[in-house]
Amino acid sequence: MHSHTLLYAEDDPLIRENLLYILRDYFDEILIVTNGNDAVTTYKEKHPDVILLDICMPGIDGLEVAKRIRQENEDVPIIMLTGHSDRERLLDAVSLKLEAYLVKPVDYTQLNDTLHRTIDKISKSSLIPIRSDLLWDSNNQTLLYRDKSLKLTKKEKLAMQILTRNVNKYISNDALIYHIWDDEIPDESHDNKLIQLIYRLNKKLVAETDYSEKIIENSYTLGYRIFFANAAS
């Protein structure tokens, strides 16, 4: 059974504590923040499976948090908590592909239904096949070879994360660099850092599996991709 992580951003302590009684039934780990800036930072550091945002928070609001997350990840489920007066603002949020928005005070039946649906969704889509016995588990950010987890560094995980989101498609060097070194200001040295990272990752995968060919392919003009052996080019 997969363990699931929730990022919960809510600045009202009473609402937060009331919802936690329900949320703890669905998530093994709940990352609690009280403002939008911490929500963005925590998302980038922890990559939770589901995000629950209050629309009105100190710093940047929930909609802006969702926009920034969507720039990196188009699929992670985002649930928005709103007040009655916030409904018009959600008209601008169509492009954010929200999983649901729940009006406060939250209807607990509606919250339970939303969480059931969301957990089912991420459980079904979490395992991404690379080879018949090599899988990327996007929920737990782990690479599985014959059901055994391969040890990856933080940056190797970030590389696998973005490459596995784009089946058979090349990812440009710049896109990879901005994703993997998102806490740094890129400079000319990062091109070499990327080359070295992919080289080490390919070498590790060959050493720890029965595959003799490189898992990650590169093109001088297009960037890098993981070629999924069971998918059409």
Tokens of 45: 């550091």
Distance CA 25, CA 157 (A): 28
By residue range, what is the domain housing residue 184? 127-226
Total domains, the chain: 2
In a domain, 233, yes or no: no
In terms of domains, do 26 and 111 share one? yes
In terms of domains, do 78 and 92 share one? yes
Q: What torsion do the CA atoms of 200, 202, 208, 210 make, to the nearest 10 degrees?
A: -160
Cβ–Cβ < 8 Å for 39, 65: yes
> Considering 125, 140, 158, which residue would you say is the last residue of a domain?
125
- 78-87, 105-114, 201-210: lowest mean pLDDT where? 78-87
Residue 230 has what pLDDT?
Answer: 55
Residue 123 has what pLDDT?
Answer: 74
pLDDT digits (tens, 9 = 90+) for 159-198: 999 998 777 889 999 999 999 998 888 898 999 999 999 9
The yes-or-no verdict on residue 201 having pLDDT over 90 is yes
Distance CA 135, CA 133 (A): 6
In terms of domains, do 113 and 9 share one? yes
Q: Output the pTM of the full model.
A: 0.59
In terms of domains, do 23 and 112 share one? yes
Distance CA 151, CA 100 (A): 35
Residue 85 has what pLDDT?
Answer: 67
Strand-pairing partners, residue 203, are none
Residues in the chain: 233
The residue-averaged pLDDT of 118-130 equals 81
In a domain, 232, yes or no: no
